[in-house]
Amino acid sequence: MAWRCSGSSNAGLVANLWTHGLITEPLVKEAFLKVDRRHYAPAMPYQDSPQSIGYDATISAPHMHASAIENVLSRLLPSDASPAPRVLDVGSGSGYLTHIFAELVGDRGLVVGLEHIRELRALGEANMRKSPDGSRLLDEGRAKFVVGDGRLGWKEPARPGEEQFGQQWDVIHVGAAAKEVHAPLLEQLKAPGCMFIPVDDDATGWDQSVWRIEKDEEGNVTRKKLFGVRYVPLTDPPKR
């Protein structure tokens, strides 16, 4: 389906993602319509292809973002069991998917975009502030951007009054190819919780696959290979 969902506008792009079955849930469609990709992609924002955003990073193709959302949706939306979903977006880059997550987690939810390059952390936040809705979500504390090593995850304290929901993550999305499923990420995944992560299939880094990793209420972990991909690598932070 790659390259087939391009449109001449954000609405046209989302309509094509819906028609081709990349988006299947009305709530997801609504979130994608709220977040205009032109605020995040430097050129041809409605083309269904990845684009460079500098610093050896890319904004993924829209169909990949749609796939990521659809595969973690069961743990992303507020529910009686998890009224304040917490999402960690590792390698948040342009900030596009961070914003879409924030539209879906509800008023009490939290999305943290984690970048190891300070300029990209700043880019993600600046892009999100290009729209009134994005600025509101940042000002309300539903979304934030931080700098750190994504392979180590991120320890975000529970907000006052919500300590009972813990400090782990209902959803972890990784937007760069990891050499392995790093132990800190798995440890920080809530039970129940879900992770979407591209992983190198061999030592060369040329073969990669996306894995959906689920942790159930008892902490049992299951892994499902979804499809092959080509992502930029999850690498060491730059030396300053």
Which residue numbers are catalytic?
Answer: 60
Phi, psi angles (nearest 5°) of residue 22: -75, -30
Strand partners, 194: 171, 214
Rounded Cα distance between 6 and 12, Å, is 8
If you write DSSP's letter for every residue of 165-203 in order, what string do you get?
G-SSEEEEEE-SBBSS--HHHHHHEEEEEEEEEEEESST
Rounded Cα distance between 114 and 153, Å, is 8
In sequence order, the 6+-apart residues with CB closer than 8 A to the CB of 175 are: 60, 89, 90, 91, 92, 93, 97, 231
Distances (CA, A) of 164 to 58, 80, 82, 118, 159: 37, 13, 10, 32, 10
Query: Which H or E run includes 11?
Result: helix 10-19
In sequence order, the 6+-apart residues with CB closer than 8 A to the CB of 220 are: none
CB 186 within 8 A of CB 101: no
